[in-house]
């Protein structure tokens, strides 16, 4: 075991396809009212609104000197070009976006995203000076077939391929079992903690232990104020990717303010 590295917990609200720009402004303001300076000292707090709300969220965060970070939910792998409907990583970087979710299971499931696309997106996000939050996770079927470990490790390998270790240090990996997303059925914290440990071991294999010890591994899937501390108590879980509960500022603030 290498030396212990302090990893600042990262808690990200993935709003998915919810909130227009006016609602987003209110949500950011409400969240800000509910958080204290020491909350930001303990935890890196990020919200990831839809593309159409990023600019408004950026402006309110900057004007009010909020310490809430801005995330995006996806990015295309090319810098520009004939890709109707897509948004590039440099465009997001220009909006002061710091984190970009890539490879969310909803994108893999509904929009045919492959491991290769996830890898290309992660690299584009890093090239634009932002940090990817790379999502991995097995389906219920894969879990029942005993394939969860293989599936997740394969996704990690593919997503991180050809990314230099030093660049990776700023990345996060979110373990989101597909069966736990939006179902109210969270993974057992012990199981999620063990998967996070396997993911870190895989990153160590691909880079070195100093990079792997610095990377933040998040858990996602029906995270709530009631269960967050059980996940955060796990040595290899360094934060959460929160869907439904992040849409309610009260609930999201309570998650950020967890105490072990
Ligand atoms: P829920 O928290 O709604 O289960 O969503 C999790 C998720 O997909 C976050 O990216």
Q: What is the mean pLDDT of the chain?
A: 96
Query: Does residue 233 fall inside a structural domain?
Result: yes
**Which range marks the domain in which residue 25 is found?**
10-256
Structure tokens at 69: 């970070």
List pLDDT tens digits, range 207-248: 999 999 999 999 999 999 999 999 999 999 999 999 999 999
Element (H, E) at 227: none
Q: Is residue 178 part of a domain?
A: yes
Catalytic: which of 104, 113, 213, 236? 104
**Position 1 pLDDT exceeds 90:** no
| CA 41/CA 221 separation, integer angstroms | 25
Verify whether residue 248 is a known catalytic residue.
no
Q: Is 76 a catalytic residue?
A: no
The answer to the question of residue 2 being in a domain is no
Task: Tell me, yes or no, whether 121 lies in a domain.
Answer: yes
pLDDT of 118 over the 70 cut: yes
Nearest CA to ligand 1 atom 5: 243
> Is 50 in a helix, a strand, or coil?
coil
Percentage of the chain exceeding pLDDT 70: 98
Q: What CATH number should be reported for the domain holding residue 90?
A: 3.20.20.70
Q: Give tens-digit pLDDT for 79-95.
A: 999 999 999 999 999 99
* pLDDT (0 to 100) of residue 2: 45
Split into its structural domains, the chain has a count of: 1
Query: Does some domain include residue 202?
Result: yes
Strands 69-72 and 239-242: unpaired
User: What percent of the chain lies above the pLDDT cut of 90?
Assistant: 97
In the predicted model, is pLDDT for residue 5 greater than 70? Answer: no
- CA atoms of 134 and 217, how far apart (whole Å): 9
Q: Is 2 in the pocket of ligand 1 (CB under 6 A)?
A: no
Catalytic residue among 106, 113, 138, 176: 176
Tell me the pTM. 0.97
Domain-located, residue 5: no
Q: Note whether residue 16 is domain-resident.
A: yes
- 3 falls within a domain: no
């Amino acid at each position: 075991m290498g030396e212990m590295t302090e990893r600042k917990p990262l808690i990200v609200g993935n709003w998915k396809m919810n909130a227009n720009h006016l609602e987003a402004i209110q949500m950011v303001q409400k969240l800000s009212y509910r958080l204290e300076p020491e909350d930001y000292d303990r935890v890196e707090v990020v919200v990831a609104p839809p593309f159409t709300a990023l600019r408004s969220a950026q402006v309110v965060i900057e004007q009010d000197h909020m310490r809430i970070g801005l995330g995006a939910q996806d990015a295309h792998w090319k810098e520009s070009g004939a890709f109707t409907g897509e948004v590039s990583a440099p465009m997001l970087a220009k909006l002061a976006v710091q984190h970009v979710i890539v490879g969310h299971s909803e994108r893999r499931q509904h929009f045919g995203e492959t491991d290769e696309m996830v890898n290309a997106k992660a690299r584009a996000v890093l090239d634009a000076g932002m940090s990817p939050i790379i999502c991995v996770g097995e389906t219920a079927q894969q879990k029942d077939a005993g394939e969860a470990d293989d599936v997740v490790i394969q996704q990690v390998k593919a997503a991180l391929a050809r990314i230099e270790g030093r660049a990776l240090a700023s990345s996060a990996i979110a373990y989101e079992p597909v069966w736990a997303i939006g179902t109210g059925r969270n993974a057992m914290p012990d199981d999620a903690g063990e998967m996070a440990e396997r993911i870190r071991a895989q990153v160590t294999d691909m880079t070195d232990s100093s990079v792997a010890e610095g990377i933040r591994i998040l858990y996602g899937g029906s995270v709530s104020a009631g269960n967050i501390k059980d996940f955060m108590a796990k040595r290899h879980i360094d934060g959460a990717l929160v869907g439904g509960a992040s849409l309610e500022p009260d609930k999201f603030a309570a998650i950020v303010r967890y105490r072990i």
